[in-house]
Amino acid sequence: MKSEKSIQSRVRSVLKAYKHPIRKNEIRDLIGLAGAKGYARVNNAVQDLVKSGAVERVSYGRYQWVGQSPDSRYYKMQTNLWRFMWIRTKKGKSFSARDVSEVTGSAHYTAQKYIGFLFKSGFIEKVGRKRAFKTNAPLYMILPDKMNATVPLMKRQSGTAAIEKYLDEVRLLSASFFQIEDTKLETIQSLKNTNARIAALLNRCEVFAFSLSKKNKKS
* Residue 79 to residues 34, 55, 193, Cα–Cα distance (Å): 32, 12, 30
Average pLDDT for 128-138? 76
Q: Residue 105 phi/psi, 5° resolution?
A: 80, 15
Element (H, E) at 183: none
Does position 164 have pLDDT exceeding 80, yes or no?
no
For 121, which DSSP code? T
Q: Poorest-confidence range of 26-40, 85-99, 111-125, 199-213?
A: 199-213
Average per-residue pLDDT for the chain: 77
Higher-pLDDT residue of 154, 189: 154
Q: Write the DSSP assignment of 33-78 as a string of letters.
A: --HHHHHHHHHHHHHHHHHHTSEEEEETTEEEE--STTHHHHHHHH
Q: Does the pLDDT of residue 195 top 80, yes or no?
A: no
pLDDT of residue 82: 94
Q: What is the mean pLDDT of residues 186-208?
A: 68
pLDDT of amino acid 162: 61
What is the rounded average pLDDT of the residues 121-138?
84
The predicted-structure confidence for 42-91, as pLDDT tens digits, reads as follows 888 888 887 766 787 877 778 888 775 555 667 778 888 999 999 999 99
For domain 71-146, the CATH architecture is Orthogonal Bundle (1.10)
Amino acid at 218: K
Mean pLDDT of 24-52: 84
pLDDT, tens digit (0-9, with 9 covering 90-100), for 107-127: 777 888 899 999 999 999 999
Helix locations, the chain, DSSP H: 4-17, 24-30, 35-52, 71-90, 97-104, 108-120, 161-176, 185-218
With 60 as the cut, is the pLDDT of residue 158 above it? Answer: no
Q: How large is the average pLDDT for residues 145-150?
A: 90
pTM: 0.49
Instruction: Please report the pLDDT score of residue 111 as a whole number.
Output: 87
Report domain 4-65's class: mainly alpha
| Mean pLDDT to the nearest integer, 183-187 | 63
Peptide bond into 70 cis (omega under 30): yes
pLDDT exceeding 90 applies to what percent of the chain?
Answer: 20
Report, as an integer, the average pLDDT of 196-218: 65
CA dihedral 170, 173, 176, 180 (to 10 degrees): -120
